[in-house]
Structure 1
Amino acid sequence: MNRPIRILCFIAALLIACGSAYATPYTFEMGGESSIDVTKTTQGLSMWTDIYQSVSSQAFLLDVGDSFTFKFARMGTDESWINEDDLKPMEVTAYLDFDMPDITQDISGESTGFSGKFEFNQGWQVIWDDPVYVGFGDGGRFAIELSDATFSSSMWTGPHGPCWSEGDADIFATVTLEAAPSPTTAPVPEPATAVLLGLGVGLLGVTRLKRKKASEN
């Protein structure tokens, strides 16, 4: 293998290494239509939910492997006492609305009331069936997790707690970028890549010049 070809192979290997190490971060933007459906809880411990207004303004930039957590909602109950029907798991469904990527993803969960010995402690819990993995774009993939929540009261104050309590707990959402989508247009070469390419062209030029002088002599 002559010298110019060896130089080209070396430069190609460096460019491939640089390209594989380069990952484009992705910007997520939340939409304004997120919700949690608790209508089915009326058959057990009736729950209410409130999505935080700040959710619709959330925007965050993630590299592959990075996560971002934000307050998503709060949940609670207005019921004053745990009865037998309140001990049955009830279906709840969260809907997370994204503007970027343009996706609405649902996450299923269950809410259940509980009552301790002599009904001294009462409360509720919500457990989500997550993480949920979402594909988007060309090869993009991210995970969504919602935090489980529990509220507990004592002194026979029921699942709502004392009069000054709302019997509620916060739900947090975590988004993790698993794989970035392939760019739709060719990315601009990084400075390091451009430098390597320039050096390669320069070395080839010097090699050819030396060969030309040698042949003339």
Structure 2
Amino acid sequence: MLALLLVSAGAQATQIQAGYTVVANETDPGLVIENMDIASNPFTFDLDPGDSVTFDLFKIWTNEGTVNGDDQDPMGIAVNFDFILPEVGGSTVSGDTVGNSVLFGLYQEGMLTWNGPADFFYGPFGDGQIQISLSDETFNEGLFGLDGGKRNGARVAATLSLIADATVAAPGTIAMFALALVGLGFVARRRRSGFDSTI
């Protein structure tokens, strides 16, 4: 019976809209990170369940010229996603940035590694699922130092996937439920009135 009362919201493509904010290490100690939005902020895509889209989200770079000792300590980075559609809510992808120096400093680079994808659940039953994953990148690679600056940075790609659309009550079911509530209220009122008249 319940299967007849519930329908998937995915009869048409689901519009996904979200803004984003990159939070990275901006001062010493640690590798000092700069970033710039590439994608529209907020971005909007229409997806069917099982579909995904990959797009450049932001650019990352450092203006430092050398990987020093403190730059080799991992520092946190996060991208906060603020969903507007299909429902208001938030989700965060977190990771680390670090300076890497090998072969006695002959080769140096910045490295960005994410801890994993983030999920955003939505809908009246919490069964709608959007997943966001971000690409690991190396940036400002150079010989005998870092090739600093935005030009030598890297583009971080985002993959947005609609894992499952939310299940919602069918419109006819909602109307029947509302009528049933009105009917129950009417019956309760009549009983109360009948009870009061006998006192």
User: Is TM (by shorter chain) over 0.5?
Assistant: yes
- On the 8 A contact 1:93/1:107 being kept in 2, the answer is yes
Give 2:123's match in structure 1, choosing from 137, 157, 169: 137
State the shift of 1:175 in Å. Answer: 1.1
Would the alpha carbon gap of residues 148 and 122 (structure 1) be closer, same or farther in structure 2, given more than 3 Å must change? same
Aligned to 2:194: none
Runs of 4+ displaced beyond 6 Å: 19-22
Aligned to 2:110: 124
Aligned to 1:66: 51
The TM-score with structure 2 as length reference comes to: 0.72
Aligned to 1:159: 146
Would the alpha carbon gap of residues 65 and 41 (structure 1) be closer, same or farther in structure 2, given more than 3 Å must change? farther
1:82-138 C-alpha deviation (Å, 9 max, x unpaired): 111111111111112222132232111000110121312111111111111221113
1:52-73 C-alpha deviation (Å, 9 max, x unpaired): 25242x3211111110112111
Q: Percent identity?
A: 27
The one-letter code sitting in structure 1 at the alignment partner of 2:60 is M
Rg larger in 1 or in 2? 1
Would the alpha carbon gap of residues 174 and 185 (structure 1) be closer, same or farther in structure 2, given more than 3 Å must change? same
- Listed as ranges, the gaps of 5+ residues in structure 1 are 1-15, 188-217
The TM-score with structure 1 as length reference comes to: 0.67
Which one has the bigger helix percentage?
Answer: 1
1:35-56 C-alpha deviation (Å, 9 max, x unpaired): 1111376321111111225242
The one-letter code sitting in structure 2 at the alignment partner of 1:147 is S
CA RMSD across the alignment: 2.7
Aligned length: 165
